[in-house]
Amino acid sequence: MLVVELAPFLIGAVRFTIAGLVVVVLSLVFSDNKDITKGQLLNCAKAGFFFLTTGNGIAIWALQYMDTGLVALLISAQPLVLIFMMRLLEKKKIQFRSMVGIALGILGIYLLVSQNSIEQHPRQWMGIMAIFICLIFWGYGSLFVAKANLPSNSLISTGYQMLFGGLMMILISVLLGEDTSRVLRLSVNGQWSMVYLILFGSIAAFTAFNYLLKKVSPEKVATSTYVNPVVAMILGVWWLGEKVSTLSLIASVILLSGVWFINSTKKKIVKD
């Protein structure tokens, strides 16, 4: 696992800086619409800070004190946190279908991770607090990007967000005294893991995430929290020949039901 070989913020620094550079360069070379104002560039930097530097960086940092199953369970509360933030900051009503969907999603994640024993760490409370902070930053970032003045070219926007987010993570990594030289000593598995994170976890997934935030409501985009474990399970069966338990199948059905409930809510939410 990559977190064993590299320090938390160093992972994000390498991952997002490279991904951002690749996307920005390709967009500038091949895209016709490459205009960006200073205000849009600043908004890209803000989004990169909310989503990646803090949202992603803190989540990875929390893995030092928590089991991955517990992290997945806590992060599944993202749609719930986001909906309450929409209620608090934007005065939007919470729809019953959304709450049902969130409850099903959290239940599904719990059933999925409860099959494995969750290891207790001495300072687990630090990880739990970190994940809560991560959810707040990611939620605020979702609300910000949904309305912010960003480049109309989603690739340009995503590229600069990753680039700024990665550069800020480099700064934090240096300030924390993380051993940056370990990047040059990555194992073969670590190198392939980084390539996967850059191509699929960053360029593909984050570009799609940003695009959707401009097209549908943030709480619907947040349902990726529930879809990702199902996709991971399917890929595990397909590529690695892993066996799927009956409980995993039930959990997957519950998770996808949660996604359906949230995405079946009306697009326009009436304000108080």
Q: Mean pLDDT in runs of 10 for the chain (272 residues)?
A: 82 95 92 87 96 92 80 79 85 82 84 68 83 91 91 92 96 93 88 90 89 81 73 66 77 83 62 41
Residue 184 is predicted with a pLDDT of: 86
Based on the structure, what is the number of domains in the chain? 1
Asked if residue 94 is part of any domain, the answer here is: no
Domain range spanning residue 127? 2-66+121-216
Residue 239 is predicted with a pLDDT of: 67
Asked if residue 148 is part of any domain, the answer here is: yes
Q: 3-class SS at 92?
A: strand
Asked if residue 21 is part of any domain, the answer here is: yes
Task: Please name the amino acid found at residue 69.
Answer: G
Asked if residue 37 is part of any domain, the answer here is: yes
User: What distance in Å separates the CA atoms of residue 113 and residue 116, rounded to the nearest whole number?
Assistant: 6
Residue 117 is predicted with a pLDDT of: 58
Query: According to DSSP H, which parts of 6-77 are helical?
Result: 8-30, 38-48, 57-62, 68-75
Asked if residue 145 is part of any domain, the answer here is: yes
Asked if residue 270 is part of any domain, the answer here is: no
Asked if residue 149 is part of any domain, the answer here is: yes
Asked if residue 171 is part of any domain, the answer here is: yes
- Which positions ≥6 away from 188 have C-beta within 8 Å? none
